[in-house]
Structure formats: C-alpha cells, structure tokens
Amino acid sequence: MLRPNILLTGTPGVGKTTLGKELASRSGLKYVNVGDLAREGQLYDGYDEEYDCPILDEDRVVDELESQMSEGGVIVDYHGCDFFPERWFHIVFVLNTDNSVLYKRLETRGYNEKKLKDNIQCEIFQILYEEALASYSEEIVHRLPSNQPEDLEDNINQIMKWIEEWIKDHSS
C-alpha cells in the first residue's frame, strides 16, 4: 500500500519531535529524527566552532534515507529542509511558536545566550518557512501554530485526516 512522506520543519523547540512521534504512533507511519540519525551514524562533516556543534554531512544523510523515502510512509523531522530532494515529500509542515513561549522552551533546554538569540531570530524572521517555500512547491507547504497543547491536538487531527485522504486517493 502506498503511504505519504511528511516533512516537519521549523526552528528548534517549536514541537516537531512531539508532533512527529505522536503522529507516527497514531498513523503507523515511521518517524525519523534527522538529528538523531546523524548522531547515531556520525553523519558529520567537520565541526562548527562558532555554534559549538558538528556540521551535518547532508549528502550522507540523503543517501542514508533514500531507500526508505522511496518506499513511502516516513515522517521526517529536521530544522532545515533545503538539502532534501524535493521529490521525497508529499506535504511539508512548518511549525511556528510565539517568541515568548519559544524563549521559555529553549531556556529550559539550557541553550546559551547566543544560541537562544539566534534561534529566536530564526523564528522571528520565519527562516524555515522561507526555506520551505524556496525548496518545495508552495501548494504543499503549510504553517501550523504550536504554542499550547490544544494546538498539538488540532495539528494531529488535521494531519491524520490528510493522511487518510491521501491513502484513500492513492489506493486502487
């Protein structure tokens, strides 16, 4: 049976992991966290001294995911999206969180001052939404609010409906 691939993107802390895992458990689709995948496979290409983090080896990440993406039924979670092949995704969701809410979430994670500031700016300037629009067809890119538990529930219900429709339309 054919199943869709879904991309969840947005600034760190907006709730991609929370939504992705819940969606996977309710829909039976597979959840892939690209950050975890890179850590497990050491899919890195150097180290960024300024941001104090390893640099993702995007080509190796794409190679690693290619076969499961061609099969379908994968929910991908990453705070970036311009290096994934456009053909992979049937729909793209960019999660958005109000600055004050996001600030508290990132503070709880223990981010340093610079990382906090950079991520809040990333959200203010809608960097990931712009990146998604530049990388995928406009019609498949959707923004979702992700501030409170009610938003999570609404987003899950909305995406579950979309998945069911997609599967129905592609079976036969």
Distance CA 105, CA 103 (A): 6
Residue 114 among known ligand-binding residues: no
Q: Decide whether 10 or 73 has the Cβ nearer to ligand DAT.
A: 10
97/123 Cα distance (integer angstroms): 8
Please tell me the distance from the alpha carbon of residue 103 to that of residue 117, in angstroms, as a whole number.
Answer: 9
Instruction: Kindly state the smallest distance separating residue 170's Cβ from ligand DAT, in Å.
Output: 28
Contact residue for ligand DAT among 7, 152, 159, 163 (CB under 6 A): 152
C-alpha angle with apex 163: 36 to 11, nearest 5 degrees? 40
Q: How far is the CB of 147 from ligand DAT (least distance, A)?
A: 6
Out of 7, 14, 76, 92, the residue judged to bind ligand DAT by CB under 6 A: 14
Given the rule CB under 6 A, which of 7-15, 45-53, 84-92, 131-139 is the region that contacts ligand DAT? 7-15
> d(Cα 78, Cα 128) in Å, to the nearest integer?
10
Site for ligand DAT in 68-127 (CB under 6 A): 105
Round to whole Å and give the CA distance between 94 and 132: 8
The C-alpha atoms of residue 96 and residue 117 are separated, in whole angstroms, by 16
**Residue 117 in marked binding region:** no
For residue 132, state whether it binds ligand DAT (rule: CB under 6 A).
no
Q: Annotated binding site for ATP: which residue ranges?
A: 13, 15-18, 109
Tell me which residues touch ligand DAT (CB under 6 A): 10, 12-18, 105, 146, 148-149, 151-152
